[in-house]
Structure 1
Amino acid sequence: MGKSKAAITLLFLALMLNSNCANSEELSSVPDEKSNQAELTQVLDVEEFKQQLQEISSVAPGASSSYVNGRVKTLSTKYLLSPGDSIAVSVYGEPEFTQPGILVRPDGYATIEPFGEIFVAGSDVEVLTRELKARFKSYLLDPKVSLKVNGMQTAKVYIYGAVQKPGLYQQERVTSREISAGTTSAVTPELTVASVVANAGGIKYNADLRRIRVTNNATGRNEELDLMKLIEQGDASQDIYLRSGDTVYIPTLESDAQIADRDFMLIASSSLAPADFPVRVIGAVNRPGVHKLTSNSPRLNSAIAASEGYMPEANKKVVTIQRVTPQGNVSTFYVDPNSNDLILRPNDIVVVADKSTSVASRGFDFMGNIISPFGRFADSYNSWAEMFNPTRRYDRW
């Protein structure tokens, strides 16, 4: 009997211990204030959101194929948020979450309560609305989130490198229309790489169009573009739409690199190049001096025509062309204009000798007199045309 009582006592104690353990587990499953704070901190991980934002914008179901990796690739109704924009957030039936004027700061962040700092630059309204809805589910069962853009900053883009007029360029965007998720209103961002190059006066002819770099100051992201594909193949994906704060860099070609005549003509006839460029014609022509050739017809006979033709004593069978590179190197060509209407390049020097003078000796003597004292100063001039005034004593022999 005593053994039975002991066994019953042990069994009772075991049941009590199990009950206490279960209660402890049940109690530990109830989140306290600290664990809530930890979960909220995890929700507010801004860097994680930036990564999620890029992934959503890249592969979001139903998203436009023109919107890839946070960048508009083709004309679209999507509007990308930029620093200086003002957005409004509201949740239906929850006025405490309404925020009518949230500014996107220069660093690309915006303060959206109750979440704190969120990186929004480069996102469109639909993507950001979806992300905010997911975050509000931590507070509400079925949040109906609305987000609108009610103020847009003038887009500012910097361009430097091998362009005629590097600097800051800005353009007004949409100013009187609210943009919300799912809108069908046409929003046409017109600030593309090609349009900014055109506003900067066009490229220099030593520009390397195959290695253009675009950097967004808000995200720090770099993209490399090949505008020769746009010119040669009509590949519009290379002419991306720019965001406010983007920096466009156009590098120069490697030293002494030459552009093939075919590529030069393609570039010269495009909207990326200046409408004309200077060449200098000297010697036995009626109006020697600096003349501008249109980019559509940059040929030797066009330069002779711009000089009002040959003088009677001109040697029309052999013309000397001197080409000076930005590095100060000189190339010489001897051309018969009747059989070879050579394509000229900016700042070429065309020498038309008279019949009684050796073309080679006259050309070399003349170029030697001009280039030797000035060659070392070439880099200080915008173009060789500035170094030669049409009224100088060399204008007519």
Structure 2
Amino acid sequence: MGKSKVTMALLLLTLMLNSNCANSEELSSVPDEKSNEAELNQVLDLEEFKQQLQEISTVAPAASSNQLNGRVKTLSTKYLLSPGDSIAVSVYGEPEFSQASVLVRPDGYATIEPFGEMYVAGSDVNDLTTELKARFKSYLLDPKISVKVNSMHTAKVYIYGAVQKPGLYQQERVTARDGSTGTTAIVTPELTVASVISNAGGIKYNADLRQVKVTNNATGRNEVLDLMNLIENGDASQDIYLRSGDTVYIPTLESNAQIADRDFMLVASSSLAPADFPVRVIGAVNRPGIHKLTSGSPRLNSAIAASEGYMPEANQKVVTIQRVTPQGNVSTFYVDPNKNDLILRPNDIVVVADKSTSVASRGFDFAGTIITPFGRFADSFNSWAEMFNPSRRYRRW
């Protein structure tokens, strides 16, 4: 009898072990939110991927607040649900609660059974999984929930105002590969104000970055951002996430001459600025003409170097810089480049005269009269013949 009880106990133990093994195998086939997150983060070749992303993505990843000045952009793999997305909700062992396709509607809501309408826009997959687990505990003892994104919408935003290339920009998905394991993941770069400005070619230098306006077309709500605070102090709250249909407006200052050199250099060194800007160099240089200066080094001696240096007869101790404002006024600076490597602004005119004072004066007058695009000085001369009349008195500005 005792031996029979022992045999029965061993048999029951074997059955229990087999049952546990079977359950373990079945549970391992259910996607877990942690494993999903780990899979999405399989992006180890980040430096290579960032380079590819700049080439193939319409909207690049946002610049982090503490890295704007170095033109370094960061990549986030946390995807936030948005209208137009399709998701699948799986409840292990409860097919009546599972849904293969749930659409996030334009109002941000989705119909998820048995709860009905749930606002899911702005949540990531893990957030939604956690919320569904909590809700399903009213129905199931130990709910096993999996949420995945079937397809993602294409977000579109419009930017206009003081940017290089205003227009409509859309967010696109890219595929990242883990170089060590060969696994791939679909990544959607975050859509922020800074990322859209960057992909619009950067700001114009007369942009008023303290009054950037974002309008949500769905609600009509306006939000005013101070992007100078983002650049100066790293206030990431100013670089908000955008939603499809948002419009971004960057107003214009009255004149870029109102921007102090310190602020100009801060902006020029940030990822919000264009990569370069034009200046014109004329006079006694080896290659006069329009040259592009990199935004990180917009100085007088850089412009001289871009012009392949001075000619032998150049007056290297006094160089003239003429700056035309949008109102048509001209500011003139006389600079010794050896003592003051002046910060230049877009469309500045650099005049390098020769060592003859009279010719230098003529060069200053010619630059101010012919190069300005605003027509303020069109009536300064009655004819081309008068312009080049050697007997005409030339003025120094």
* TM-score, scaled relative to structure 2: 0.62
Counterpart AA for 1:307: S
Matches within 5 A, 1:1-397: 78-89=78-89, 95-112=95-112, 119-125=119-125, 144=143, 147-173=147-173, 189-255=189-255, 258-358=258-358, 361-370=361-370, 374-376=373-375
- The secondary structure found in structure 1 opposite 2:286 is coil
- The secondary structure found in structure 2 opposite 1:362 is helix
* d(CA) in 2 for partners of 1:278, 1:341: 17
Structure 1 residue aligned with 2:37: none
Deviation of 1:147 after TM superposition, in Å, equals: 4.5
CA deviation string 1:218-275 (max 9, x = no partner): 4544443333233323344433444444433322224465111112112212222222
* d(CA) in 2 for partners of 1:276, 1:75: 24
User: CA, structure 1 residues 293+357, in 2 after alignment: closer, same or farther (shift >3 Å)?
Assistant: same
User: CA, structure 1 residues 299+359, in 2 after alignment: closer, same or farther (shift >3 Å)?
Assistant: farther
Deviation of 1:205 after TM superposition, in Å, equals: 1.0
CA contact (8 A) 1:152 1:174 kept: no
Deviation of 1:356 after TM superposition, in Å, equals: 2.0
* d(CA) in 2 for partners of 1:76, 1:272: 19
User: CA, structure 1 residues 283+313, in 2 after alignment: closer, same or farther (shift >3 Å)?
Assistant: same
Deviation of 1:165 after TM superposition, in Å, equals: 1.3
Please provide the CA RMSD for this pair.
Answer: 3.9
Q: Which moved more, 1:140-149 or 1:324-333?
A: 140-149
* d(CA) in 2 for partners of 1:89, 1:263: 50
Counterpart AA for 1:80: L
* d(CA) in 1 for partners of 2:190, 2:82: 15
Counterpart AA for 1:162: A
Deviation of 1:202 after TM superposition, in Å, equals: 1.6
Counterpart AA for 1:316: Q
Unmatched segments (≥5 aa) in structure 2? 1-63, 66-73, 177-184, 378-386, 389-397
CA contact (8 A) 1:86 1:150 kept: yes
- The secondary structure found in structure 2 opposite 1:281 is strand
User: CA, structure 1 residues 254+106, in 2 after alignment: closer, same or farther (shift >3 Å)?
Assistant: farther
Structure 2 residue aligned with 1:42: none
* TM-score, scaled relative to structure 1: 0.62
CA contact (8 A) 2:328 2:376 kept: no
User: CA, structure 1 residues 256+269, in 2 after alignment: closer, same or farther (shift >3 Å)?
Assistant: closer
Deviation of 1:364 after TM superposition, in Å, equals: 4.7
Counterpart AA for 1:375: F
Structure 1 residue aligned with 2:50: none
- The secondary structure found in structure 2 opposite 1:83 is coil
CA contact (8 A) 2:330 2:368 kept: no
Q: Which moved more, 1:301-310 or 1:86-95?
A: 86-95
Report the structure number with the largest CA radius of gyration.
1
* d(CA) in 2 for partners of 1:123, 1:348: 48
Deviation of 1:75 after TM superposition, in Å, equals: 7.7
User: CA, structure 1 residues 233+358, in 2 after alignment: closer, same or farther (shift >3 Å)?
Assistant: farther
CA contact (8 A) 2:213 2:225 kept: yes
User: CA, structure 1 residues 213+132, in 2 after alignment: closer, same or farther (shift >3 Å)?
Assistant: farther
User: CA, structure 1 residues 279+76, in 2 after alignment: closer, same or farther (shift >3 Å)?
Assistant: closer
- The secondary structure found in structure 1 opposite 2:374 is helix
Counterpart AA for 2:253: L
User: CA, structure 1 residues 174+332, in 2 after alignment: closer, same or farther (shift >3 Å)?
Assistant: closer
CA contact (8 A) 1:335 1:342 kept: yes
Structure 2 residue aligned with 1:57: none
- The secondary structure found in structure 2 opposite 1:195 is helix
CA deviation string 1:281-340 (max 9, x = no partner): 111222211111122221112212222222233222222211112333321111122221
- The secondary structure found in structure 2 opposite 1:279 is strand
Deviation of 1:95 after TM superposition, in Å, equals: 4.6
CA contact (8 A) 1:158 1:247 kept: yes
User: CA, structure 1 residues 206+88, in 2 after alignment: closer, same or farther (shift >3 Å)?
Assistant: same
* d(CA) in 1 for partners of 2:343, 2:122: 44
* d(CA) in 2 for partners of 1:298, 1:175: 37
- The secondary structure found in structure 1 opposite 2:315 is coil
Q: Could you tell me the percent identity over the aligned residues?
A: 85
CA deviation string 1:21-74 (max 9, x = no partner): xxxxxxxxxxxxxxxxxxxxxxxxxxxxxxxxxxxxxxxxxxxxxxxxxxx999
* d(CA) in 1 for partners of 2:294, 2:311: 24
Unmatched segments (≥5 aa) in structure 1? 1-71, 177-184, 379-392
Deviation of 1:113 after TM superposition, in Å, equals: 5.7
Deviation of 1:126 after TM superposition, in Å, equals: 5.4
Counterpart AA for 2:323: R
CA contact (8 A) 2:175 2:186 kept: no
Counterpart AA for 1:266: L
Deviation of 1:187 after TM superposition, in Å, equals: 6.8
Counterpart AA for 2:325: T
CA contact (8 A) 1:189 1:241 kept: no
- The secondary structure found in structure 2 opposite 1:317 is strand
User: CA, structure 1 residues 76+345, in 2 after alignment: closer, same or farther (shift >3 Å)?
Assistant: closer
* d(CA) in 1 for partners of 2:95, 2:105: 24
* d(CA) in 2 for partners of 1:314, 1:175: 55
